[in-house]
Structures are given as structure tokens and as C-alpha cells.
Structure 1
Amino acid sequence: MEKSRTEYSTMNTVVAMISRIAAILMGFVTRVVFTHTLSESYVGINGLFTDILNVLSLTELGVETAISYALYRPIAQGDIRKQQILMRMFRTFYRITAGCVVVLGLSIIPFFDVLMKNRPDVDHLMLIYFLYLANSVVSYLLVYKRTLIEVHQLNYIVLLYQTAFLILQDICQIVILFTTHNFIFFLSIYIVCTLLSNICISRKADRMYPYLKEKTKEQLPEDERKDIFRNIKAMLMHKLGNVVVNNTDNLLISSFVGVISVGIYSNYFLLIGSVRQVLDQIFQGITASVGNLGATEDEGRVKSIFETAFFIGNWLYGAAAICLYELLNPFVELAFGKQYLFDMPVVLILCINFYINGTRKAVLTFRDSLGLFWFDRYKALVEAVLNLAISLILVWKFGTFGVFAGTFLSTMLTSVWVEPYVLYRHRLHAKVAPFFVRYVIYTAVTGVIWYGTDRLCLFADGGRVIVFLKRFFICAVVPSLVMLLCFCHTKEFGIVKRKALAIWKKRWTDGRKK
């Protein structure tokens, strides 16, 4: 029996969150072993090379998002021929991308002395970089078939494969670190597991959709080809903005502060990124359903679902930002040691950036799934320029804090208001002012709860472990409880409650029948 969009979204989200939590826990154990078995220089190199290759991911041009959007309608209509044509285009794009990453990755080598202030004394530095580059190239091979599974609202299948290989990768890497302390062997496991994961997912897609193996020489109509290339151009601009804002922090810190500071930030990035990945799975789980929604439903229905998703995002990311602010330093000290601590102003700006970007997730999910990337394409370029300019100015005076403050200011000046404006004007066809009023109210409530929680956490005393546990209890209870009291009578909370009860009732009924 065909599942509803809500059921697909729920299944994808639940599997995604469980898979992501399992992968994160294993990844964290690997990280702790990594920091205790290798020097700070290796920690810094890991963060720096990862960011360099994230910058090179610009060559992907946002093709995956553009092709995914193009696939929603053919899948909803059962048009296999068009799916075949689009997937062939996708394969060609990704093969070109892999080649471009190789060329650009090699061209960066002469500039290593500029990118690394106080270049660390690490053996086989070039070989290490080549291994990072190889893993990036391998990640583009065969991966295009994964998208077809995801667009069919079956993302949970992909996640199960990816999580299994991530856990296998972590176990192997932990064994290597304990037995050999060899960073080269450690990186080799990355490449092997990435390749095996892509091969298994590709074969699964072939079994699920046999028409992928059928050859076709047909071309898309000229107007549809133009639309796809138009969207790819727009996504290139978005990807450029995203890479500059989110993946140049390590490069700036490395160039102006030092590689050791990159190592310190990489631990915070791991923890904050882990929480973000878990919460992002909620929106990743509904992405295909939103695409289907846009292809089959009217504006009023789309607007109602969006505003509910935005409400959920504010609640979850707000509560998580408060928890991170109170728990990050105690946790880092326990896990990695005092030498890896940031001052509280740096932690604060990191958590504020986490919250701001989290509140954007609903908007971005709907923008991408509804194919609106063209309308705010220049925003991404303006944001990138502002981020680099402001960060370069502030890093001279404020160091690491200045880099993250530049990210905050550039986001507030562009994305926070432009993205919702585009969504409301070009798809929902409604006034955006009520949305911004709601946004301000949500943010103000979060700010008040944040301050109150921080005051309560000051009363947590005792040893380091006891303080951490007390703060954890306060953060786990207070923010969500107060938000429940504040929002329990809103329309959006009522929708969430009805949806949850309907799913629970259906599951209960199905279970009784079995």
C-alpha cells in the first residue's frame, strides 16, 4: 500500500536520526582516540585539508539539487523515460566533477605555505593531502544513483548503507590508531569505505530501478534543458556563497592565527556539527516529500506546511543552541583537555551562528525542493564577499572570534531576510511581513530562555563531571519545557500534535491488525 508524504517523511526522519546518532557516537570515539594518539598538528591538518576540499566541491555546481528538483515531477507522473534522461545527464556531470576536483586539488599544492601559518612538522604531508584528495574524488563516483532513491522518498535506505560503512570505518580507524598510530593507514580506511558504500548503494539502485541500466539516446526538450542549466548556474552561486561562509573559517584561522587554533576549532566543529547533523536529518527526511508537495498541492497547503516546519526548526535549534553554549566547554575539557578550550565569547558566537543557520533550514528546504534557487542567486555572492571582507577585517583585531563574527554579520545582512522574501513572493504569493514578526517573536523567546537557563547553570557546582551532569539535566529540561508553555496554544503546535497523533493511531491500528 502506498504511503503518504507524512509517513515517508516520518520514516526517513526516524531512521535518519537514529543512524546519524549512531554514526556520531562512533565518530566521537574515533575523534577522542585521534586527539590522544596523534599530535595537535595532525588535528589541525585534518581540519584544514577537509576545508580545502570542501571549497573544491564548488566544482559540483549544485548539480544534485537542480537534478533532484527536475526529477520530482517525472517521478510523480511515472515518466520513466524522462528519469532515464535526467540520470544520464547526472552521471556525465559527476564524472566531469571528479576530473575537475583532481586538477584543482593538484593546483593548490604550490600555495600551501600561504594557507598554513607556522607550517607544522608533519611527516609525508604531501601524501596525506593526496589521500584527502583521493577520498574527495572517490566520493563522486557512482554516487549519482543515490539521488534517485532519495527523490523517491526512500532516503532511509541510503542512510542505512552509509551508516553501516561509517561505523565500519570508525572501528577500523580506532584499531589502526591504537595499534600503529599511523595517520596514513587511518586515511586509507576513509577511501576504502567511501568507495564500498557508493558501490553498494549503486547496486541497490540498479535492483530497485532496473530501467537505470537501459540505454537511451533521447534528449530533453530544449526548454527543459535550458531550465536545468539555468538552475545549475543559480546553484553554483549558492554553492559559492555557502562554501565561502561555512568552509573558509579554518583557512582564515590557519592563515592569520595558526594551525594549532584550527585543531582547537575542529573539536568544537565536530561537536556542533554532530548536533546539527542530527537535527538536519528532520529536514533532510522531508525534502523529497516537499518536492512532491510542490508538484501536486496548492499554495495554501504548501504555506501551512512550511510555517509548521519553520516552527519546529526554531524550537529544536533554539533548544540545542542553549544546550551547546552551556555544555561545550565542560565537555571539551573532559574529552580533550584544557588546552583545547575556547573562551566563552567564541563559544557564544559559535552557538548563535548555529541557531541562525538552524532557523534557515526550513526556508532552504522549501526553496531547494520547490526550485526557487534562481531568484536569490546574487544574494549568495554578496554574502560571500561580505563574509570574507568582514572576517578579514575583524580577524586582525579579534582573532578567532573575528572570523566567526564575520560569518554572523554576513548572514544577518543577507540570507536571514532574502531567502524568506523569495519563498513568499515567488511561490507562496503571500506577504512576508507576518513571517518576520513570527521570526522575531521566536528569537526573542529563545533569547529570554537562553538567559534564564544560563543563570540556572551558574548554580551547578562540584567536580567537572558533576558540573557537566547538572548542567546537562538543566539544559535537557528547562528550554523545551518553557518553549512548550509558550507555544502550546499556537496553530503550528496544534498541527504538529495532530500529525503525531494520527501517525501513532495508524501505527497502533496496523499493529493490532497484525
Structure 2
Amino acid sequence: MFFYLVLLVLNFFSRRVFIDVLGVDIVGMTASMQSYIGMLNIAELGIGTAVAAVLYAPIHRNDTGTITEIVSILGYFGRVIAIVIAASGVILSLFLPLLFAAEEVAVWVLYLTFYTFLVTTVLSYVVNYKQILLIANQKNYIPVTIFNTTLIAKTILQILLLRYFGFGLKMWLALELVTAGAYAVWLEVRINREYPWLRSNVRQGRAYLKRYPDIIRKIKQITSHRVSSFVLNQSDPIVIQLIMGVEMVTYYTNYTMIINRLLQFSTGALSSNTAGVGNLVAQGDKKKIELVFWQLNALYMWLGGVIGFCLYTFITPLIRLWLPPTVEIFSDTVVLVFTLNMILTFAHQPLLQFTVGYGLFADWIAGWIFVGLNVVISVVVGLLYGVVGIVLGTLVSTFLVLILWRSHYLYTRGFGEKSAVRYYLALAKYLLLLAVTWGAGTFVNSLLPPVVSWVQLIINGAIILPAVALIYGGLLLFADGGMRTLVQVVLRGNFRSKH
């Protein structure tokens, strides 16, 4: 949460500086490049997730020998992935002038930017693979701290050098490389301190793999989910760039940058829950598993509802105050679709954490359905209606696949029930209570002066945020057992409370 707040403030300053100094076209181009690099990351195929799932049991037993072998396997896979991504990147780079033919960006700028991001991505697979042990061992705060500290330092230097020392894109990219190297070195030092017995052998990783056939099986199952994740996170900027140009990508990422930071506020701070859930599932206490599942659902829906309403209410005046007047402002309809998408992302988190905890990755067909729905709806409706159509594709596919199907899959394969009717009814209850909260929050907001200054934005936010949090929290506390037991856990600091 600390890093979230610091980076939120920094991103407001850096975004304005980058647009002013580098220009809208360059900022949009870099966002598109990062999406193309993200596309190459499909080569990872979910290997990290598969390895983490296999690590839970030996970590619980403190079996250092098995842990070392599994980490060595990931190191071997990391080398293979790095080679595949590097080769694919070189091939993709041949088409950069064609992909950006309609943009007024020099060819050397395209290649310099692309290969900078490619090198940092390849480096992460070659060097940083050991961090999987920290993540699986519920010590994700360590890589989070190191990564965000280097990210803050990089952002501050970029702001200073671009705004006050007259540097441009070359220095901006150089700092990207330096930061990636610094993170890798710092992380390696910290891992050696935490696990002095860990002596992974990448060359032996392939031989060790024969002892763990479950890893290969899970990797095959996770592949389609990795494709789905790519489509969700990377395809929209690419579709926008191809249909409407890099300038519109800049306007689009103005919104998504804020949304992603809001998501990091919760999903980032609570990301270690995945390893905790994995440990919980390994214990096999069904009653406790169910209790924690409903507590997490209540928590994430409360966070998603409160943050979602504030996003819808304040993002437009925020962008008007934050960025130059020439920046395009999206309609309320687009903002509403953004907001609903973010709320569903919050709702998906408990489903995702328990699916991973149970090691349920065999629903590979769902990943391809997700891909098809997202791409078809985004392209077809995007051509007809613009940005709102593209974002709508993500919303529809997320609801059908990541919410409805994922919950059914978890209930039938993980919880051992016949259907997910209980979850569907609970989700309907959460959304109904959120609609009531939304109406009350809109009424409170109508009583406040319109936002025309930063001071008024802060004042209105200081009133709306706690009001909506109390209203939605109160409704959930009254109507939902998960919220009631969650409050008891927070107050008592244990899990002895009853449903």
C-alpha cells in the first residue's frame, strides 16, 4: 500500500512530463511496444505458475533438496523461454516499420525502443527465476519491495533528466535498462540471504524435470490461460493502435494507468494470498477453506465496489486537471465500461487464487473461448463504435469466462459440489447491494460542488470515499456472512469465528 501511494503520485507527475517532453506519439508508441513485448511473453506458457503450485508441498515439509531441484527446473525453463522470446522478438522487429507505417515516428526510434524492452524482458527470465521461491513461500513482499524501490528511483530520475536537464528518449530508455539490471542484482543478493542453502543448477534442470512429470502436465494445461491473460492485458492497446493509431493509445493508457494503479492497491497488496490459499488447500480443512473463500469474496467485492464508484465519479475531472487540455476525454459510457471491467477483475481474484491453490488448470478450452470472444467483440464492435467497443469485448469475455465459468469449474472440481449456484446467488447479492450503494453515492455526490480544482477534487474525494465505503460495508455486514466473519477475524486476529 505504501508503494501504491508513492507510485500513484509519481505516475501523475511522470505521465505529464513524458507527454510534454516526449510527445503524445512517442508515449503511445512506447505503450504499443510494451504490448507487443507482452505478446511475446506468451512463450512463458504459465511455467512459473505451474512450478509455484508444485512448490507448496515441499515448502510445507521444508524439503530443501526437492525445492532446489524444482527451482533448477524453472531456471532451465527460463533459459529456454529467453531464447524463444529473443528469437521471436528479432523476427517481429522486421515488421515494425509496417506496423507503425501510419505514425510519424523515426525508424531508429522504433528499433531502439523495441530492443530496449526486449532486452529487459529476456533478462528477467534468465536472472530472476529464483524469486518464485519467495512468492510460493509467502514472502512476495521481498520482490515487491525491491521492484518498487527501483521503479521509484527510475521514475524520479526520468522526470528530473527529461524535465530539468534536457534529456530525451535515449536517456529514458537507458534508465529502463539500468533499472532492470539493478533489480536483478539486488534480488539475487536478497535471495541468497533468505535461502543460503539454495544452490540451483540450471544445467541439471532438464534432468531433474523427469522426476516431476506433474510440472509438464500443469504447463500444458496453463498454456491457454496464459494466452487468455495476454489477451486481457495486451490486446486492447494493439487493437486500438491498429484501428485508431498510437495517439488514441496514449489517451486510452491515460485511463488504464489509473485503473491499473487502483487494482494494484488491492490485488498487489493481497497478492500473497495465493500462496496462503495454496497452503490452506494443502491442509485439507474444508470448513476453513470455505470460510476463507467467502471472506475473500466479501473483501474483494467491497474493495472493488468502493474503488469502482470513486473511479467512475472522479476519473474524468482528474484527467482534465492532470493532463493538457488537448488530451481527449472519453465519454461516460466508456468510463462506465472501464469501471464494470475493473469490478469484475476484483470479483475474479478469489476465484483465481483458489483455482491456483487447487492446481486446477485443465479447463484449457476456456482460454481459447476467452480469446475468441475478446478478439471478435473488440475488433467488430470497435470498428463500429470505437474505444467503447474494444473495452466492451474485454468486459463481456471476462464476465462469461473468468466469472461464470471459472466459478463453476472451481465449485465442481475444487470444492466438490454439483454446481456454483451458491456463488451465482452471492454474486447477484453483491451486485444488488452495490447498485443500492451506487445510488446513494450518486445522491451524496450531487450535493457537492463540481470539481474544478485540485482542492475541490481532494475535498469531494475525502467525503465520497468514506461515505461509499461505510454504506457498502454496512450493507455487506448486514446481508453477508463472509463480511461478518471477516470483520470478526480483523477484530480478534484469528480464525475461530463461526459462519
- Is this a same-fold pair by TM over 0.5? yes
Could you list the per-position Cα deviations for residues 221-264 of structure 1 after superposition, in whole angstroms to 9, with x for gaps in the alignment?
85x63221111112111010111132111111111112110010
**For the structure 1 residues 501 and 109, does the alpha-carbon distance in structure 2 shift closer, same or farther, using more than 3 Å as the test?**
same
CA contact (8 A) 2:12 2:322 kept: no
Output the CA distance in 2 between the equivalents of 1:462 and 1:321: 19
Output the CA distance in 2 between the equivalents of 1:463 and 1:184: 38
Q: Give the total of aligned pairs.
A: 487
The structural deviation recorded for 1:90 is: 0.3
The structural deviation recorded for 1:184 is: 1.3
Output the CA distance in 2 between the equivalents of 1:181 and 1:269: 27
Q: Is 415-424 or 65-74 further displaced after alignment? A: 415-424
1:271 corresponds to 2:255: no
Q: Is 150-159 or 358-367 further displaced after alignment? A: 150-159
1:150 to 135, 138, 141: 135
Output the CA distance in 2 between the equivalents of 1:363 and 1:214: 33
The structural deviation recorded for 1:475 is: 2.6
Determine the structure 2 residue equivalent to 1:435.
Answer: 423
Output the CA distance in 1 between the equivalents of 2:127 and 2:150: 16
Determine the structure 1 residue equivalent to 2:76.
Answer: 92
Output the CA distance in 1 between the equivalents of 2:345 and 2:407: 13
Could you list the per-position Cα deviations for residues 326-362 of structure 1 after superposition, in whole angstroms to 9, with x for gaps in the alignment?
1111111111123322122111111111111111011
1:132 corresponds to 2:121: no
2:184 to 194, 198, 208: 198
Q: 1:387-406 to 2 correspondence within 5 Å?
A: 387-406=374-393
Secondary structure in 1 aligned to 2:270? Answer: helix
1:480 corresponds to 2:469: yes
Q: Is 97-106 or 321-330 further displaced after alignment? A: 97-106
Secondary structure in 2 aligned to 1:461? Answer: coil
1:349 corresponds to 2:337: yes
The structural deviation recorded for 1:38 is: 1.9
1:368 corresponds to 2:356: yes
Output the CA distance in 2 between the equivalents of 1:58 and 1:221: 21
Output the CA distance in 1 between the equivalents of 2:81 and 2:209: 24
1:493 to 469, 477, 483: 483
Q: 1:176-195 to 2 correspondence within 5 Å?
A: 176-178=161-163, 179-195=165-181
Give the CA RMSD over aligned residues: 2.1
Output the CA distance in 1 between the equivalents of 2:109 and 2:47: 35
CA contact (8 A) 1:56 1:104 kept: yes
Determine the structure 1 residue equivalent to 2:497.
Answer: none
Determine the structure 1 residue equivalent to 2:26.
Answer: 42
Which residue identity is paired with 1:412?
F
Secondary structure in 2 aligned to 1:210? Answer: coil
Q: 1:311-326 to 2 correspondence within 5 Å?
A: 311-326=298-313
Determine the structure 2 residue equivalent to 1:464.
Answer: 452
Output the CA distance in 2 between the equivalents of 1:276 and 1:109: 32
Output the CA distance in 2 between the equivalents of 1:214 and 1:52: 32
The structural deviation recorded for 1:161 is: 1.5
1:447 corresponds to 2:447: no
The structural deviation recorded for 1:423 is: 1.1
CA contact (8 A) 2:73 2:208 kept: no
Which residue identity is paired with 1:272?
I
CA contact (8 A) 1:139 1:195 kept: no
Output the CA distance in 1 between the equivalents of 2:182 and 2:430: 44
Which residue identity is paired with 2:49?
T
CA contact (8 A) 1:37 1:181 kept: no
**For the structure 1 residues 111 and 320, does the alpha-carbon distance in structure 2 shift closer, same or farther, using more than 3 Å as the test?**
same
Which residue identity is paired with 1:143?
N
Secondary structure in 2 aligned to 1:205? Answer: helix
> Could you tell me the TM-score, scaled by structure 1's length?
0.90
> Could you tell me the TM-score, scaled by structure 2's length?
0.93
1:386 to 359, 373, 376: 373
**For the structure 1 residues 217 and 133, does the alpha-carbon distance in structure 2 shift closer, same or farther, using more than 3 Å as the test?**
closer
Determine the structure 2 residue equivalent to 1:213.
Answer: 199
Output the CA distance in 2 between the equivalents of 1:309 and 1:463: 34
Q: Is 252-261 or 297-306 further displaced after alignment? A: 297-306
The structural deviation recorded for 1:114 is: 5.0
CA contact (8 A) 2:73 2:209 kept: no
CA contact (8 A) 2:306 2:468 kept: yes
Q: Is 211-220 or 459-468 further displaced after alignment? A: 211-220
Could you list the per-position Cα deviations for residues 452-487 of structure 1 after superposition, in whole angstroms to 9, with x for gaps in the alignment?
323433443356115523541343122211112212
Could you list the per-position Cα deviations for residues 306-344 of structure 1 after superposition, in whole angstroms to 9, with x for gaps in the alignment?
111011111101111111011111111111123322122
CA contact (8 A) 1:117 1:258 kept: no
Q: Is 356-365 or 132-141 further displaced after alignment? A: 132-141
Determine the structure 2 residue equivalent to 1:28.
Answer: 12
Output the CA distance in 2 between the equivalents of 1:337 and 1:459: 28
Percent same amino acid among aligned pairs?
A: 24
CA contact (8 A) 1:113 1:119 kept: no
Which residue identity is paired with 2:331?
D
Q: Is 253-262 or 484-493 further displaced after alignment? A: 484-493
2:412 to 401, 425, 429: 425
Determine the structure 1 residue equivalent to 2:151.
Answer: 166
Secondary structure in 1 aligned to 2:127? Answer: coil
Which residue identity is paired with 2:44?
E
Q: Is 397-406 or 21-30 further displaced after alignment? A: 21-30
Structure 1: stretches of 5+ with no match in the other structure: 1-16, 505-514
Which residue identity is paired with 1:359?
A
**For the structure 1 residues 21 and 353, does the alpha-carbon distance in structure 2 shift closer, same or farther, using more than 3 Å as the test?**
same
CA contact (8 A) 2:8 2:261 kept: yes
The structural deviation recorded for 1:103 is: 1.1
1:239 to 200, 222, 226: 226
Output the CA distance in 2 between the equivalents of 1:481 and 1:147: 38
Determine the structure 2 residue equivalent to 1:510.
Answer: none
The structural deviation recorded for 1:494 is: 2.4
